[in-house]
Structure formats: C-alpha cells, structure tokens
Amino acid sequence: MSLDLKALLADKAINKWRLFWLISIPMLIAIVVTMMGADMSTASGVSSMIGFSVRLAVPFIFLVVAASSVQILFPGSFSKWWLRNRKYIGMCFAVAMSWQGLFIFIMSYFFRDYYFENVYLFRDELEGSIGYIFLPAMVVTSFHFGRKHLSAKQWKLLHKSGIYFLWAYPFSTYWWSLSYYQNPVPLDYVYYWCGFLAFAVRIAAWGKQRRQAMDRNAAESSTPLTLRALGSAIIVLGLVWSAYGLYWQERVTGFLTTPEWSADLVLWLPFWPFEPFLSLFIIGLGTMLATMAVPKVTGLKTIET
C-alpha cells in the first residue's frame, strides 16, 4: 500500500497547535530531565542549562527562516505543510528561548559574580537583549489580539526584522565557533551549515522569483550571458568563502575595523562588521547579477539570439 503523503500531512495530529504540543511537551521533558542531572545550585550547572536550551531552540528558528523559500523552490505537499505550520514551529522556538531566559535570569541574579566574570560581554548582552525584545513582540502579534494594533506593513516589518535578527544571532555564534575558536565540536558545524542553508535558500528563492518575473517579460528584457556567467562565478566564490572563514577572518576583520569609527562600532552595533554574513552577501550579489533584467534594444541582436 503506497503512502499518501498529502493525506498524512493533512492529519490534525501534526498540524497547528497539536504539532506545537507534540514538539513542546517532549522538549519540556528533555529540559526537566537534563536539569535534574545538572547541579542547579552551582553557576556551572545553570550555565550548562543555558547552553542546552539554546541548542534545543536553534533548529526551530532555522526552520522558520527557510519555510517560505522552500515552498517557492520546491512546491509540494511537504513544503506546503512546512509553511502552513511556520507559526507553530516559531512558537516552539519561543518556548525553548523562554527557558533560556529563565536560566539567564537565575545566573545573573543568584550567581552575579560568576555571570559578570565569566559570561557577561556587553556586545553579547546587547545582541541577546534585542533578540528578547523581538521575541515577545512577535509572539503577541502572532495572535489577533496583538496583531489588531498593527497595520499590515508594521506587522510585516516587525516579523521580518525579528526573524532575520533571531536567525542572525545563533548563526553568527556558530560561525565564530568555527572561524575564530580553535575547539569547535561537531554540533557547531551542523548548526552553522543549517543556518547558512536556511538563508541561502531565501536567496535562491529570491533569484527564482526574479527569473520568473523576467521570463514573463521576455520580449522586453533578458539577462546577458556575461552577467549570468559573472553572477554564477560570484555565487561559487561566496560558497567557497563560507567554508573557509578560519583562514580569512583575522585579516578581513582587521581591515574592516582599521578606521577608528569602525572599531568603535564593534561595541555598539550588533554583528559589526558583519563577517559571518559576508559569504551570504557575496552569494546575494551573484544572484542579483545572474538574474538581472537588461532591457532589449529593438533591432539589436544579443548574444543569446
């Protein structure tokens, strides 16, 4: 008997709030069991729970970021199910991050000396605090009672900005683990590449939409072969760049922070000077060039014709 994937994915047990509880309850059990095995009377025990809750949360924000783009690139029953449940996957992320917030509070309140000596860093505090401002605002406005206070443009701006920021924080953390620190663990590689892929598919989906728009106006514009080749080469460069951060990070960071104003921004502007995202910027540039619409000139034959 063949499996009817469409019917399976339509099952109420794995959709909407039932999906949320299906994920959140095992997550709660995992956190409680792990907490029972940690010595919560010590700072190191609480610190281990901060890390554990983050590792639970990170996959969900990556899934949220990729959801709409996967539907564009690979339309089908599974991608439709994924997009339909994006809100509830995001709620699972919020649950895990709420646990992290609780453990951070315990650490900062009951183990203040340890927190400021071993954990606290102003830049990390700034980035984390912004994330915790976005998160409850996004949760509240995911429901009608909160959403009704925002216009459609305001809601879209809040959620898109929040999703990007909440993706950027863990992605950059794992990028630094691979590109600066000398002792990454296998999970660092997994989470870095999952975060990279989550945003890369957004770029690919954007490129596909640009290509489709150009195809609809093929009589008026096209992308010259030279631009397609140049764009493709830049995309390959971005992919290579993404894999070898350890070899260029120090020199690039030094160059980008040479001006005094830039060095000062490192402390105050989250993620500056954006080293973790440079490869994605490069891939985005290549995609833009490879899908750039150039108006056709009447009577002039292009290289494609």
Helix (H) or strand (E) holding 295: strand 294-295
Are 119 and 107 in contact by the 8 Å Cβ rule? The answer is yes
52 & 147 share domain: yes
Q: How many of the other CB atoms lie within 10 Å of CB of 193?
A: 15
211 & 287 share domain: no
Mean pLDDT of the 85-89 span: 96
Classified as helix, coil or strand, 105 is helix
The pLDDT of residue 222: 79
229 & 300 share domain: yes
65 & 41 share domain: yes
The pLDDT of residue 119: 67
Domain boundary, last residue among 185, 216, 247 = 216
β-sheet bridge partners, residue 294: 222
33 & 117 share domain: yes
85 & 43 share domain: yes
- 244-302 pLDDT, tens digit per residue, is 999 999 999 999 999 999 999 988 889 999 999 999 999 999 999 999 878 765 544 44
193 & 83 share domain: yes
The pLDDT of residue 116: 76
- Strand 294-295 and strand 221-222: pairing? antiparallel
Instruction: Name the residue range of residue 224's domain.
Output: 219-305
231 & 118 share domain: no
Residue 303 confidence class, pLDDT cut points 50, 70, 90:
very low
246 & 143 share domain: no
| Closest by Cα among 248, 197, 191, 223 to 57 | 191
Q: Could you give the number of structural domains in the chain?
A: 2
Query: What does the DSSP 8-state code read for residue 118?
Result: I
All residues at 6 or more sequence positions from 191 whose CB lies less than 8 Å from its CB, including other chains: 55, 58, 59, 170, 174
39 & 129 share domain: yes
Q: Can you spell out the DSSP letters for 143-168?
A: SHHHHTTS-HHHHHHHHHHHHHHHHH
- 189-238 pLDDT, tens digit per residue, is 999 999 999 999 999 999 999 999 888 877 777 788 899 999 999 999 99
> What is the average pLDDT score of the chain?
90
Domain boundary, last residue among 163, 187, 216 = 216
276 & 185 share domain: no
Domain boundary, last residue among 216, 238, 259 = 216
208 & 245 share domain: no
